[in-house]
Structure 1
Amino acid sequence: MTRKVLVIGLGLIGGSIALALQKAPETKIIGYDMDSQTREHAKTLHIVDEIVTDPMQAAADVDVIIFGTPVNATLDWMEQLKSWPLKKKVLVTDTGSTKKSIMQKAGELRELGITFIGGHPMAGSHKSGVLAAKAHLFENAYYMLTPLAGEEIIHMAQLESLLKYTHAKVVSVSASEHDHMTAVVSHFPHIIAASLVHQLGGENGEYPMTRSLAAGGFRDVTRIASSNPVLWRDITLQNREELITQLEDWEAEMGRVKQLLLQGDAHEIEAYFAVAKDLRDELPISAGAIFTSFDLYVDVPDYPGVISEVTGILADEAISITNLRIVESREDVFGVLVISLQSEHDRERAAKCIAKRAHFETYIS
């Protein structure tokens, strides 16, 4: 018997899930998006097996419903779901980046006999929209599930058996745990990155050259500040309680740093940076909460054709490059040439072949 999956919202995340789940045996992927052009692209690119224009009608005959929409839109869809004709054992999930409000609404669905398990695939891309969808987007990334308390094991097993085709690391946590952890490692860093850029903006009048110097390490540190402002407006509002706590902790930490500077104790200041270095160096390199483009730093000599030499090596090995840039300010960056690749596997291959054929040093920052 064919399992039918309806994906509502065919942007980067929804489209990528649809592509990944096409690998599941005896599974038909049905797609819907409010944007007609997105529906047309999804149909043309075979991102789904079938496109529908009436999600309510389609939902009546599916086994799984996945909302690939932003949190606020998902909440609206969940409210509509209450009046939809659904299969008795339908399983519903989402992909939203905050979970408390979603799971509160899920409690209302449970009272109506609808099984809802929250989900958040922690992967992304520098591109957005259905045209950027990739079947391998979630490989080795964490896929967080946030079931309601007392959720039946069989329902969790059903969802996990489907999500295994994303090749993500599926883990289960509570909604409150999810929102706290993502606040620490994703949401709050976005606020800090934005604040650093704002502080740089204040330098333009008196020290205009500061902006040019920011092309190096500063640009890397604040990369996430280039994220979609509307998306981060919503995330900030949805997780504001956790973020207020993080800001209070940050203020306390900055107070500690200020005291170190006022005291001027060289040993204590060095120890502060040493502890931070050790903790940072212990962090895993694999995919985490913030999108990474798998950058490889290559320390190349300055002679004509050197960049073509490097890209030629990668072309010979059929390794795709998503971005390429030269870092001119090198005070705290290992290499002058930064190559962005699609996966950890591609980065490892690139590092090996560049070191072997060109004898250039490569680093992962």
Structure 2
Amino acid sequence: MGKNVLIAGLGLIGGSLALAVKKEHPEAVITGFDVNERVMKTALALDVIDISAPTLSDGAKDADLIIIAAPIRQTVAIIHDLAALPLKEGAIITDAGSTKKTVCEAAEALKERPVTFIGGHPMAGSHKSGVEASRVRLFENAYYIFTPSRSEHERTMIRLQNWLKGTKARFIRLDPDTHDFFAGTISHFPHIVAAGLVHQLKEEGQKEPVLNDLAAGGFRDITRIASASPVMWRDILLSNKEVLLAIIDQWQKKMHQVRSMIEEGNEDALHSFFQTAKHTRDALPVRKKGAIPSFYDLFVDVPDHPGVISDVTGLLAKDRISITNIRILETREDITGVLRLSFRAEEDQLKAKSLLRENLYDAYEAP
């Protein structure tokens, strides 16, 4: 197996894939290409890549593996650019896009070239973006979906999985249409709903500004995915249009049913609506990574006492446990308050829970 890898697109996903490949294949030379020169310089400075390529052609010509980690529209453009460039015979080309039918159709342009294209989608992410947020464990235990064409040799698929085994992801295969339906249901459509809720808050908040202050708690949590890249989500939605239009129609029908329940005062129907939702959600896997990045939260009961927050954070810092976010949920005089600590990984969450309990704090996960 050759040792040259090109990462085209040096954001969170591209950078994290570079780190995962480098960890498993330390002999490989990781070349990075990005349209933003500053990003390439940052990737070099952080040792995410070994070499930066001044052009796509320079990076692609000797690459044994090319990973395209860019928004869908750019991914399609890069594929067409690659189809016109000199490429190494036997090279594997894959992508990391959230929709697969559009990308795989674009990859038909590579059919006559001595390379193999296999669509890919690592179903993991972070609340941070950019190459600075890259981390080798981003994909650990996440699903990594491949959409190979039926004509691909099994040996090529195995080669790609060997290249990417440093991700420690769970590899599965789907056809592009099935992938896009699954992703549309559990990832793309929830982003539309979250953005819609935020738009509604914005409109109502202009009339009643206090709404924005009240939304700082639970509302902000349930709409957190609305903070994702507008460019990325514009491209995803347009590339998965047919699936999303059907899901939106189903959603509108369901909301019309709920509206009728409320209008008619149908207590039994409303109770059943929420009970079914509760049972379904409670049955979802807790310890697995899905399409939407998980929070690894820990709740800590703390007394109303000066210095208690610094004591909690100091204990974690001493044990080198990194907190990504901290929020005070309740601090009223003379009662126990609650801190919510967020972590990058479940391992950090569990270590923090054990450490805080050893120091007599009541630390627990959300039910």
Query: Structure 1 CA distance, aligned partners of 2:127 and 2:41?
Result: 23
3-state SS of the aligned residue for 1:140?
coil
Partner of 1:11: 11
Q: CA deviation at 1:105?
A: 1.2
Q: 1:35 to 1:206 in 2, by over 3 A?
A: closer
Q: Which residue of 2 aligns with 1:24?
A: 24
8 Å contact 2:330–2:339 — kept in the other structure?
no
Amino acid at match of 2:10: L
User: Partner of 2:201 in structure 1?
Assistant: 200
Change (3 A) 1:349 1:5: same
Task: Name the counterpart of 2:48.
Answer: 47
AA aligned opposite 2:227? S
Once the 2 structures are TM-superposed, how far is the Cα of residue 2 of structure 1 from its aligned partner?
4.7
Instruction: Encode CA deviations 1:181-240: one digit per residue, 9 max, x unaligned.
Output: 111111111111111112222322554322222121111111111112222111121112
Structure 2 counterpart of 1:300, from 298, 302, 307 = 302
CA contact (8 A) 1:215 1:327 kept: no
Q: Does 1:57 align with 2:80?
A: no
Match of 2:237 in 1: 236
Preserved contact between residue 4 and residue 63 of structure 2 (Cα < 8 Å): yes
Aligned residue in 1 for 2:111: 110
Residue 113 of structure 1 deviates from its aligned partner by: 4.1
SS of equivalent residue, structure 2 residue 84 = coil
| SS of structure 2 residue aligned to 1:108 | helix
Report what 1:218 is aligned to: 219
In structure 1, the residue matched to 2:356 is 354
8 Å contact 1:216–1:329 — kept in the other structure?
no
What pairs with 1:1-365 in structure 2 (closer than 5 Å)?
2-25=2-25, 26-285=27-286, 286-328=288-330, 336-364=338-366
Normalised TM-score (structure 1): 0.93
Separation of aligned partners in 1, 2:150 and 2:170: 21
Whether the 8 Å contact between 2:119 and 2:147 is mirrored in structure 1 is yes
Task: Tell me how large the CA RMSD over aligned residues is.
Answer: 2.0
* Aligned-residue offset at 1:28: 2.1
TM-score calculated relative to the size of structure 2: 0.92
Instruction: Kindly indicate whether the alpha-carbon contact (under 8 Å) linking 2:68 and 2:94 is maintained by their aligned counterparts in 1.
Output: yes
**Aligned pair count?**
361
Which sits farther off after the overlay, 257-266 or 74-83? 257-266
Identity of aligned residues (%): 45
Supply the distance in 1 between the matched residues of 2:151 and 2:34 (Cα, whole angstroms). 32
Letter in 1 for 2:187: S
Distance 2:130 2:363 in 1: 36
